[in-house]
Homo-oligomer: A and B are copies of this chain.
Amino acid sequence: MSTEKIHQTANDFNTYVRRMKQLHEAIQLIQWDMSALIPKQGVAQRAEVVGMLSGDLFQMQTSDQMGEYLDVLSRPEAMELLDPITRASVLDRKTEYDRDKSIPPEKFREYVVLTQTAESAWDDAKRNNDFEIFRPYLEQIVAILREFIEIWGYKENKYDALLSKYEPGLTVAKLDTIFGGLREKTIDLLRRVTEQKQVNRSFLHQPFPRDVQYRYSRHMLDALGFDFSKGRFDESPHPFAIGLNPNDVRITTFYYDNDITASLFGTIHEFGHAIYEQNISHDLIGTFLCTGTSMGIHESQSRFWENMIGRGREFWQHHFASLVEHFPAQFAGVSAEDYFKAINFVEPSLIRVDADELTYNLHIMLRYEIEKDLINGKIEVKDLPEIWADKIEEYVGVRPDSHATGVLQDIHWSGGAFGYFSSYSLGNIYAAQLEHAMQKEIPNYREQVAAGDVTQVLAWMNEKVYKHGKLLTPGEIMLQATGEEINSEYLVAYLESKFKEIYGI
């Protein structure tokens, strides 16, 4: 094939993908609106609009036209002629294309319908504390996923095929190693922490006017460097961040009347996602590389900003004064140190989303073990409630007295999102590893944070992570930034250092 023909095809491919990305941006905006703003009765009609546009996008992604582009451009002699962005874009689209095209359309439709109906069955089951309502749906979902995996293929472990959907390159073999040490050390540390005396945190749970919470969250976003000319900050029942493009990144939070921590740390968490998206290189606009490189790396940023910065002692050395200024009555007689300890309070509990920084990873590893065994056929859906209860007792030391606080607490499985949970802990692991590397290059970064200055921290993260978007893989980013592959030892060291100090162990 002629060089000219390859370049022409590359141009056509880029135009085609840019169009897809525009369609994707339209869909994302509508979904943002549906999550944050839409009037109640507008939902049904808008869902049809989203369905129509999503169908169009899927059709473009799996079209013969796309197949022809990828066929030409993914050949070695073509690849070497492409610029790096087009090359990465071809690989990115080819991964999607191969995955989507391999599933027979009628099987895929069956799966889409199933997961749509499964969500309300899950909701019903949770409400009525009746696992049996959800069981047949979950069994079908697992069965179809097992079929998909056979089609997609796998090298060592069936579950690898699902893990790599969210974290390219991740395998059970790697994750067993990564999680192994973390689990042991965390269980041990948690046991020692909970032997210590209780921390007073009653002042965190008293009336906090919502409008002041809003003002303080906004103040915090300003202080951290969220660019309001490139984003919005709104309210929604389930906080989230969405990057429509680097110039329009939107986050939401939720305000509880009697809890300042939810909105405050929720906002800082979403800030981490948002600052990543706001700083992706504009060279990637118009491609699907213009987003975070993986769920895990994305989560590393929300966790880094929420926990390592936002729950750090240095951060509040600077910010505690402004907190007291916004809530003078609530924090009367509370010291920065009291506050720091209260926001880092550790307590074994049943619900993942409410878990503290230390316990959290145990909730994830429990789900990882269950998913892995389920997909590999070592356990079956009907046994999940019992297995769940046993495992959470083993890991965290508490046992659920209902399905709603046990096996039915998360929505994820009803949507078929097996392989997704691990991203949350990968985020913590990546974050600690990145922090360790950054500390070596900016030895006084903690003093800077204590002085209210995060510009160097942001610049470092931008250089190592943000600007690359999805042009680099998670593995490449970690290797370039830290000199090694993913390693959970840094998270273990961070957690031990932090909580031993706080709890005087």
With the chains together, A227 CA to B25 CA distance in Å? 29
Residues A41 and B230 in contact, CB atoms below 8 Å apart: yes
- Please state if A248 and B22 are interface contacts (CB–CB under 8 Å): no
Q: Specify which chain B residues have a CB less than 8 angstroms from the CB of A227 in the assembled complex.
A: 41
Chain A residues numbered 22-44 whose CB sits less than 8 Å from any CB in chain B: 22-23, 25-26, 29-30, 33, 37-42, 44
B48 near A22 with CB under 8 A, answer: yes
Tell me whether A45 is interfacial, beta carbon within 8 Å.
yes
Contact partners of A442 in chain B: CB under 8 A: none
Q: Would you give the shortest CB distance from A275 to chain B, in whole angstroms?
A: 14
A247-B45, A248-B46 as given contacts; A52 in contact with B229, CB under 8 Å: no
CB-based contact A232/B39 at 8 Å: yes
Find out whether the CB atom of B53 lies under 8 angstroms from the CB atom of A26: yes
A26 close to B42 (CB less than 8 A): no
What 1/0 flags go to A288-300 for Cβ under 8 Å of B?
A: 0000000000000
Cα of A29 to Cα of B39 in the assembled complex, Å: 13
Question: Considering only CB atoms and an 8 Å cut-off, how many residues of chain A contact the other chain?
Answer: 32
Q: Which residue of B lies closest to A41 (CB)?
A: B247
Q: How far is the CB of A245 from chain B (nearest CB, A)?
A: 5
> Do A52 and B247 contact each other (CB < 8 Å), given the known contacts A33-B29, A39-B228?
no
Instruction: Tell me if B248 and A52 are in contact (CB < 8 A).
Output: no
Chain B residues near A25: list those with CB within 8 A: 45-46, 49
**Does A19 have its Cβ within 8 Å of any Cβ on chain B?**
yes
What are the residues of chain B within 8 A of A41 when measuring CB–CB? Answer: 227, 229-230, 247-248
Q: Are B30 and A26 in contact (CB under 8 A)?
A: yes
A217 to chain B, nearest CB (A): 17
Give Cα A227 to B52, complex, Å: 27
Interface of A is mostly: helix
* CB <8 Å contact, B229 and A22: no
**Bound-state Cα–Cα, A45 to B48, Å:** 25
Let me know if A248 and B42 touch, CB within 8 A. yes
B-contact bits for A395-424, CB 8 A (1 contact / 0 none): 000000000000000000000000000000
CB-nearest residue of chain B to A36: B37
Chain B residue nearest in CB terms to A33: B29
B30 pairs with A285, CB closer than 8 A: no
Known A23-B52, A29-B29; judge A39-B230 contact (CB<8 A). Answer: yes
Whole-angstrom CA separation of A230 from B44 in the bound complex: 12
**Residue among A30, A48, A53, A229 with the highest chain B CB neighbour number at 10 A:** A48
Contacts of A230 in B (CB 8 A): 39-42
Chain A 227-249 interface residues, beta-carbon cutoff 8 Å to B? 227-232, 244-245, 247-248
Query: With the chains together, A228 CA to B23 CA distance in Å?
Result: 29
Q: How far is the CA of A91 from the CA of B91 in the complex (A)?
A: 48
Query: Which B residues are CB-close (under 8 A) to A49?
Result: 22, 25-26, 29
Q: What are 26 A-B interface contacts by the 8 Å CB criterion? A: A19-B52, A22-B49, A22-B53, A23-B52, A23-B53, A25-B45, A25-B46, A25-B49, A26-B26, A29-B30, A29-B33, A29-B46, A39-B228, A39-B231, A39-B248, A40-B230, A41-B227, A41-B248, A42-B230, A42-B244, A42-B245, A42-B248, A45-B245, A45-B248, A45-B285, A46-B248
18 further A-B contacts with Cβ under 8 Å, apart from A25-B45, A29-B49, A37-B232, are A22-B52, A22-B53, A23-B52, A25-B49, A29-B29, A39-B228, A39-B229, A39-B230, A39-B232, A39-B247, A40-B230, A41-B227, A41-B247, A42-B244, A42-B245, A45-B245, A45-B285, A46-B248
The 5 closest A-B pairs by CB, nearest first: A42-B248, A41-B247, A22-B49, A40-B229, A42-B247
